[in-house]
Chain A
């Protein structure tokens, strides 16, 4: 694919589109990529990054991470910080699946102990964690209780027996976005999501049993700090978000912003999916409060899923979750906007940082990290395809230019239909079984869409994040079993 003529290589891992690339750009757009990754990016990535650079109040650059690909509104992997006083908030900069994110949980079991029981384990997880189109969860929750869930996130889970106290500390924002206001959410959003707590959904959402083999440890000291201490230690990683509730919150406010963006606030529209409102406006503040509710639903959803995972392991191995060492490493959010303090041109400022398909990656010593990770930096969990493995990384001090943000996954290269044309779901399942990865799914078609060949090489993506100083590799985690919707 030919790259935009104006694209300039700034360093081995940074590419820049100048403000002359598109009329209206207020700042340049910067893409983190190697030669091979930039060559594989769709034209849409450059256009979408340029559109983001046109938004009012944007600071420094519109960024795109190395797993970036063509999305809607922001590119997937898009990162932008805005001045809260002069800038905007945009649902298209966060995504419909607000606080879609990753969670990683340890065990003290080894591959040798788990391998003989992997089928049983995957099958039981498949029954314990609802997956697929329109699935509902086991938590029986009234609409009024759900309003407490969305205002309190993981804290509600702790109060109701679905969390250990230390789980909250190991979750971004302590598992609760402060300032969430259920009154800012429509009845429709509540109706759509109140019975979906503890469900995976479908698409690229999954729960995976993985092993950390000694040859895949890149940074032994940090791996130990993150709890990976035994050769061939088994861990559990899962990926899901705020389900129908979050999707409806985003849809509701997208329509609200469309009505006021130009007529009331005079903001030029480059892409309707980038509809926005001034952050300090009533509409902007209402969305921010509702978005926080959706973020809390994302945390609660993953917390309840973790509870179910612990129950399954405990039942199968006849030991308590504590005896099995089932401690959380961390929970990271992918799709959010947050007020954070960053140094801009030598001055500390509060910024509204949008991350869409990107991971916050705080470096060592930063405020907001649990004490346990003060020296190591924040654990970063980057999910790869279910065939190739995933990575545990650590935040770096050198990530300041991207507002301490790194990649979130490997990034798609094939469309879902292309993948299905090239791979048969049933055959893929059998092939993976032969390679020692036991998979359960509701949908063979959906499985084919998530085949390894549909994604960029996770090894390359994570190495580029390291070369760019965004995050350093700690361990590669190889799949043994997977459930997906």
Chain B
């Protein structure tokens, strides 16, 4: 798994560290951890409905913040649990641009072994960094 839940840094919320060889892999790892926070059976979430997410930001970490926040938005607004299938990030001048293809299906309590509703991505301890030839992020979710 390209992520690890971090019990030691939060009591009431859910925190995880995620990693990837590229920025794109890191974003996908974070999306996977987010999905795993909400369901114990992410493999049961079928890739039925596809969405394309386009975002831009001057800061890479806040681009990740917005990306995860977008997945949470779809969970409430469209009742969709989503996998990140592909992510492309381009940096032009000082702006990071993201195009992500995500897919999933409506929440089904009978199949998805739901765990906890995620309210928001917090900025507490939130970080994205490149260390030891790997992209890493620490994310704390309000649940």
Contacts and interface: CB of A to CB of B under 8 A. Distances in A.
Nearest to B70: A188
| Chain A interface helix/strand/loop/mixed | mixed
Contacts of A418: 7
A445 B37 CA distance: 11
Interface residues of A, number: 48
Interface stretch (B17-25, B46-54, B84-92, B107-115): B107-115
Given A272-B123, A272-B126, A134 B116 contact: no
Contacts of A167: none
A95 B143 CA distance: 11
Contacts of A446: 114-116
Interface in B96-123: 107, 109, 112-117, 119-123
A203 interface: yes
A320 to B, nearest CB: 33
A253 B140 CA distance: 18
A442 B109 contact: yes
Interface in A87-137: 95-97, 132-134, 136
Nearest to B59: A258
Contact of A414 (B11, B62, B115, B116): B11
Contact of A132 (B40, B117, B140, B143): B117
A97 B12 contact: no
Contact of B109 (A42, A132, A192, A203): A132
B40 A133 contact: no
A142 interface: no
A201 B38 CA distance: 12
A403 to B, nearest CB: 23
B54 to A, nearest CB: 15
B135 interface: no
Contacts of A202: 114, 116-117, 143
A132 B114 contact: yes
Contact of A247 (B7, B39, B120): B120
B76 interface: yes
A96 B13 CA distance: 12
Contacts of A485: 117
Interface string A35-72: 00000001000000000000000000000000001111
Contacts of B11: 42, 69-70, 412-415
Contacts of B115: 133, 443, 445-446
Contact of B13 (A42, A71, A258, A443): A71
Given A42-B11, A416-B14, A443-B115, A134 B140 contact: no
B123 A244 contact: no
A193 B76 CA distance: 7
B143 A203 contact: yes
A221 B12 CA distance: 36
A416 B124 contact: no
Contacts of B10: 70, 415
A244 B142 CA distance: 12
B123 A134 contact: no
Interface string A192-219: 1100100001110000000000000000
Interface in A459-483: none
Contacts of A254: 123
A73 interface: yes
A85 interface: no
Given A247-B120, A446-B114, A192 B73 contact: yes
Given A202-B114, A251-B120, 14 more contacts: A72-B122, A73-B122, A132-B117, A133-B39, A133-B109, A133-B116, A244-B119, A254-B123, A255-B62, A414-B11, A415-B8, A415-B11, A416-B14, A442-B109
Interface of B: 5, 7-8, 10-14, 38-40, 62, 66, 69, 72-73, 75-77, 79, 81, 107, 109, 112-117, 119-124, 126, 140, 142-143
Interface of A: 42, 69-73, 76, 95-97, 132-134, 136, 188, 191-193, 196, 201-203, 243-244, 247-248, 250-251, 254-255, 258, 271-273, 275, 412-418, 442-443, 445-446, 449, 485
Ranked 7 nearest A-B pairs via Cβ: A72-B124, A244-B76, A272-B123, A202-B117, A96-B120, A72-B122, A273-B124
